[in-house]
Amino acid sequence: MTQHTAPYTASVCVYCGSRFGQDPAYDAAARALGAALADENWRLVYGAGDVGLMGAVAEAAQGAGAATFGVIPEHLLKWEVGKRDLTSFIVTENMHERKKVMYMNSDAIVVLPGGAGSLDEFFEVLTWRQLGLHEKPILLLNVNGFWDPLVGLIDHVIAQGFAEDSLKGFITVADDVDQAVSALRAALS
């Protein structure tokens, strides 16, 4: 394991599934993203799970020498198998606190494939951005088109008059890890 000697230059929050999903490309993207965070000297901020894509991104980030900051609520310690060997490991009382701590300790957000929890986290930071509460970049890592239906739904919400066109401008859709890293580099510089 390579350990970076310089302090990390940015913190990237990664929302993703506590399962692997059906497509092996999701796991590959999670691992590639974790390694890329280390290559860029960015700290991983995530939900502290050691299962599914959460575990994959953390394992890859750690293996490549990245700093890691995990946040997990007490009630999920067993279910998501809290990964206690992180650089920082925080246990919160509940999900609301978990999301707040993750958000407060990140400079950008990347959303890998995931389920209801990942959608909840995504929509919360998107709503906060829409309301002008932050200007952090929000990226959807659209592995094999996983997020296409979500992008379509956002287009539908805009077309039906429930949001301004600017809503879509708060999201960057990246088809692969290289695109995501390039977008993050531009946004974080």
d(CA 164, CA 158): 6
Between 74 and 112, the higher pLDDT residue: 112
Question: Which tens digits make up the pLDDT trace of 13-29?
Answer: 999 999 999 999 999 99
Are 13 and 128 in contact by the 8 Å Cβ rule? The answer is: no
Percent of the chain scored above 90 by pLDDT? 86
**Which two tokens mark 13?**
């929050």
Average pLDDT over residues 73-99: 86
Query: May I ask the CATH architecture of the domain 10-188?
Result: 3-Layer(aba) Sandwich (3.40)
In this prediction the pTM is: 0.94
For 160-188, letters b (16+ CB in 10 Å) and e give eeebeeebeebbbbbebbeebbebbeebb
How many whole angstroms from its chain centre is CA 82? 17
Residue 80 is predicted with a pLDDT of 67
Q: 43: which residues sit within 8 A by CB, 6+ positions away? A: 8, 10, 11, 12, 37, 66, 67, 68, 69, 87
Question: Which tens digits make up the pLDDT trace of 118-154?
Answer: 999 999 999 999 999 999 999 999 999 999 999 999 9
Residue 6 is predicted with a pLDDT of 57
What pairs with residue 101 in β-bridges?
A: none
The mean pLDDT of the chain is 94
Q: What's the pLDDT band for 84 if we cut at 50, 70, 90?
A: confident
**Which two tokens mark 97?**
């606190």
**Which two tokens mark 106?**
């990140």
Write the secondary structure of 104-136 as one string of H (helix), E (strand) and C (coil).
HCCCEEEECCCCHHHHHHHHHHHHHHHCCCCCC
Residue 82 is predicted with a pLDDT of 76
d(CA 81, CA 71): 12
Residue 76 is predicted with a pLDDT of 84
1 has pLDDT over 60: no
For 96-111, letters b (16+ CB in 10 Å) and e give eebbebbbeebbbbbb
